[in-house]
Amino acid sequence: MFDITDRSLSLEPLVSAVTRSSSGAVASFLGVVREQTRGRQVLYLEYEAYREMAIPKMREIADEIRRKWKVDEIAMVHRIGHLEIGEASVAIAVSAPHRHQALAACAYAIDRLKETVPIWKKEVWTDGEEWVGPAACDGGVAGSEFRVSS
């Protein structure tokens, strides 16, 4: 299950989708809109996705995970649109026969999602707004060869 949705997120459908009879563990992650970000008061967030690229990029992350760990299934859903404080922006669930694989793969999934999946959030604060997107400046996507040389 890999999706971009404008509806509110819940873990249960992802957990159900990934649990197999071989699964002994399901690790999951929920990203939540928090009140404070880098010291500023958040009013709300607006998420935007390049959907046709974002979903294949999620599948690529799942392929990376399968090459690194023995997992059963992987699900990732990202929400877009207007999100209030306390609402979930991203949900990930990974099942595996053993817990260490599930936990490591889940941590990897959210790190990679933030690096490579083209989804942006506009943080709207009491005193301004700013777009935040894939972690290109960390060299996370693929290094500097993909930058515009200006």
Q: Which residues bind other proteins (CB under 8 A)?
A: 24-25, 31-32, 34, 37-38, 48, 50, 52-53, 56, 97-99, 114-116, 118, 120, 122-123, 130-138, 141-142, 145-150
User: Site mask, a second copy, residues 94-123, x = CB under 8 A?
Assistant: -x-x-xx-xx--xx--x-------------
Contact 136, 127 (CB under 8 A): no
118 φ, ψ (degrees, to nearest 5): -75, 85
Among 3, 4, 31, 116, binds a second copy (CB under 8 A): 31
CB of residue 62 to a second copy, shortest distance in Å: 18
Among 17, 43, 55, 85, binds a second copy (CB under 8 A): 85
The partner in contact with residue 64, picked from other proteins, a second copy, none with C-beta cut-offs of 5 to 8 angstroms by kind, is: none
CA distance 63 to 74: 10
Residue 131 is encoded by which pair of tokens?
A: 């777009």
CA distance 95 to 101: 8
Residue with smaller CB distance to a second copy, 59 or 100: 100
How many residues touch a second copy under the rule CB under 8 A: the total is 33
Is residue 34 a contact residue for a second copy (CB under 8 A)?
yes
Residue labelled with tokens 């997107």: 133
Alpha carbons within 13 angstroms on the beta-carbon side of residue 65 total: 30
CA distance 56 to 41: 34
